[in-house]
Amino acid sequence: AGAAPEVRRDLEALGRLVLYVVQNGDVPFKELKAKPPGEVVHRCPDEESKDLARQLLRPGDDVGDLLGRLLDHPFFWPWQETLRNVGNESDIKSRKPGSRLLQLLQPGPSERHTSFARWTRKIHKGVMRDMNAFYKDSGSFYKNSVGDLLKFIRNIGEHIHEDRNRRRKSETLPATSQKTFPDLLMYVYRKLRDTEYRGALSPAHSTRWPLCGRGGWAGGTRP
């Protein structure tokens, strides 16, 4: 049997609340209640809020533990820190040949047109040169793979406070931002959520962003 009408109404209201919060209340909630679900999702500013709103507005028949599952949704996670956690996996750091994790992260035939498909071209040339310099002796420079992008984000995070990187912070930070790769977190989440690597995504040791904490970065990069 499907969910009770009142349950669906509550879920739909929460879906509209997602947009209300990320837009800092710019549009009155009463007005949002009159918008069709598709428009609400379309107006969400990033992939995480779109996905969360979509699941709440169109929950399907199995809603028993939907809210419990959605509390562990990437919408509530710090963007850079979550991806750095995944990039810290040993298989990614070492580019382990034959790694199941790296295989899982490979795009399928219908996933070629992403914001990160040719990610090295989006990085400031000076930053890319500096980061590749670490691999000058081995010749193992960064490639346009998802694994290497996560490794890059992890390494940028590790080295950002070094003197030479502090001086180039304005060039370095956009290279690892949600604006530059808006679909990356949801891509990684969908690839790993039902695998043995699900734990790599968990920000359990991080502070999750509550709904009220997203207003400062609606439509942009999380702080």
Angle ∠(66,82,120) on CA atoms, nearest 5? 125
pLDDT 10s digits, 197-223: 998 887 654 444 444 444 433 333 333
Q: What is the pLDDT of residue 171?
A: 64
Task: Calculate what percentage of the chain has a pLDDT beyond 70.
Answer: 81
Token reading at 107? 């795009």
Q: What is the pLDDT of residue 217?
A: 34
**Residue 212 C-beta-side C-alpha neighbours within 13 Å:** 0
Q: What is the pLDDT of residue 14?
A: 95
Taking each helix axis from N to C end, the angle separating 146-159 and 125-132, rounded to the nearest 10 degrees, works out to 90
Q: What is the pLDDT of residue 222?
A: 37
pLDDT 10s digits, 163-207: 555 555 566 666 678 899 999 999 999 999 999 999 888 765 444
Q: What is the pLDDT of residue 161?
A: 56
Residue 156 phi/psi, 5-degree rounding, is -60, -45
Q: Assign a CATH topology to domain 79-206.
A: de novo design (two linked rop proteins) (1.20.1440)
Given phi > 0 = left and psi -120 to 50 = alpha, else beta, which region is 44? beta
Q: What is the pLDDT of residue 16?
A: 96
Q: What is the pLDDT of residue 175?
A: 63
The Cα 53–Cα 143 span in angstroms is: 34
**Where in the chain are the domains?**
5-76, 79-206
Token reading at 62? 């199995």
Length of the chain: 223
The Cα 101–Cα 150 span in angstroms is: 12
Low-confidence ranges of the chain (pLDDT < 70): 1-3, 159-175, 203-223
Angle ∠(98,103,107) on CA atoms, nearest 5? 150
Token reading at 177? 């931002």
H or E segment to which residue 166 belongs: helix 163-167
The Cα 77–Cα 161 span in angstroms is: 23
Q: What is the pLDDT of residue 35?
A: 94
